[in-house]
Amino acid sequence: MSIPLYVKIKEQDNVAIAVNEIKAGMEVMEGVIAHQDIPQAHKIALEDIAQGGKIIRYGVILGYAMKPIKKGDWINEHMLELPEPPNVDEMEFSINLVTDLPDPPVASWEGYVNPLGGPAGTRNILGISTTVQCVTGVLNVAVEKMKKELLHKYPNVDNIVPINHAYGCGVAINAPEAQIPIRALRNLSKHPNFGGQLMVVGLGCEKFTVDMLCEEADINEENVIILQEKKGFDEMINSLMEMAEKKLKILNERRRETLPLSELLIGMQCGGSDAFSGVTANPAAGYASDMLVKGGATVLFSEVTEVRDGVYLLAERCVNEETGKKLAQEMKWYDNYLKEGEVDRSANPTPGNKKGGLANIVEKAMGSIAKSGTSPIVEVLSPAEKPTKKGLIYAATPASDIVCGPCQLASGIGLQVFMTGRGTPYGLAIAPVVKVCSRNDMKNQWMDLIDINAGPIATGEASIEEIGTLLFREIIDVASGKKQTWAEKYKLHNDLCIFNPAPIT
């Protein structure tokens, strides 16, 4: 079969993107001849566009032409003037509630029942929480010793993970926005993959005290070690080893059980996006998300700046006015947060995004929201909040991969699906990450880092439904422990970057 030269999303679009590089002089479609070499994933004008004219993709205005554009011209990021963002005070709610969702091919999975309630675990991990970065050096030495001397004795435990972070001291602990990092660390300490076992390491003089991290009933010598109370390094290490072994013995008794999809909580995130992301990887993830929701599971999607320009479309999918107003509230909060830093949403696209054909944040956002599928949005969360409902949930977080990931973990996800166009070895230590790429070239280059290739959608070799179903089955197999992702196999994971919009003193 012949590979198409271009992808056009909506009938009203006046641009298309190149499936592969288009050489100058090539006829892209009848009457449209490329005037310049057009790189893969970049846009070609399908009609003449006057200065100030609308440049339309996904059926929306990406921006306005800064100079006249001829039919067949290459359109890049230097040629568009960014439009005003949608007014969140003028959005309509609950006018596009889709309930005809695709049926999932299976209705159950194998997971670990959460003794604390809430979503089940996908892995069986000893998580060690910390109150301050100062303890990281000692804890890392202890964890290395635990893995060498203890972990092999408890074969039903998958890993030992220290929850190291940069928060805890030198921070304005009573600032209003300190609630975000504090909430994140509290929720992380009780992640579903930790099996209800709490182990906390503090220093003793930090601002983020143990009683801020733990419930009062959990603060005892069975769960908490304060390094300043120990006599020397050896006693610190020995205490940590002794407590860890007690926890490992308990965790080793956990077993997977057959559970309904309603016990599964999944996160969706993008990173290193390109112009194919909104055509292949994200729509496939959206189809898998719809299947999960239809089966009773809960799916989070995030990244405020990467939905901001399409937020009115999300508002239409909110199940009620209360949910819609919470969505608007989160957008306003983030608008103000960026304004205080003297930037706006236009600071989001990276050089790699632009090299991959994304001209501006509007184009990036319209592709990003595709990973949410079509399901009604039942709840909106502030950063690091835990869900109270099941279904599709918008979890407000920064767009930065290494900040969004920990926020979603704090919300309780047991697995993350990560879409990429340019490629990233990103991973999470606490939960597996299924990597989905947007184009064949990426899979061919990183054959042993990408789990699912959505590129065949662009070349016409597969449909969104086919890749979405393939991804759904991958999610179930990985969540059930039947498969490891490449990132999990290689033990690739990023540091936990806890979102802290409060001042550092």
Q: Please, which residues have CB within 8 angstroms of residue 280's CB and are 6 or more apart in sequence?
A: 438, 439, 454, 455, 457, 458, 464, 467
How crowded is residue 442: how many other Cβ atoms within 10 Å of its Cβ?
A: 26
pTM summary value: 0.96
Q: Over the stretch 413-459, which tens digit does the pLDDT of each residue have?
A: 999 999 999 999 999 999 999 999 999 999 999 999 999 999 999 99
Q: Over the stretch 280-314, which tens digit does the pLDDT of each residue have?
A: 999 999 999 999 999 999 999 999 999 999 999 99
| Span 190-201, average pLDDT | 98
Q: Which amino acid would we find at residue 346?
A: S
| Span 353-369, average pLDDT | 94
Whether the per-residue pLDDT at 1 is higher than 80: the answer is no
Of residues 138, 153, 131, the one with CA closest to residue 223: 131
The end-to-end CA distance of the chain, in Å, is: 62
Whether the per-residue pLDDT at 256 is higher than 80: the answer is yes
**Percent of the residues in the chain that have a pLDDT greater than 70, as a whole number:** 100
Measured distance CA(391)–CA(387) in Å, rounded: 10
Measured distance CA(190)–CA(199) in Å, rounded: 10
Whether the per-residue pLDDT at 388 is higher than 70: the answer is yes
Q: Over the stretch 115-158, which tens digit does the pLDDT of each residue have?
A: 999 999 999 999 999 999 999 999 999 999 999 999 999 999 99
**Which position has the token pair 């972070």?**
165
Q: Over the stretch 13-28, which tens digit does the pLDDT of each residue have?
A: 999 999 999 999 999 9
Alpha helices in 150-280 (DSSP H): 179-189, 210-213, 232-251
Whether the per-residue pLDDT at 29 is higher than 70: the answer is yes
Buried b vs exposed e over 200-225: b needs ≥16 C-beta within 10 Å? bbbbeebbbbbeebbeeebbeeebbb
Measured distance CA(55)–CA(61) in Å, rounded: 6
Angle in degrees, CA 274, 286, 471, rounded to 5:
90
Q: Where are the beta strands (DSSP E) in 30-136?
A: 32-33, 43-45, 54-57, 60-65, 74-75, 80-81, 108-111, 125-130
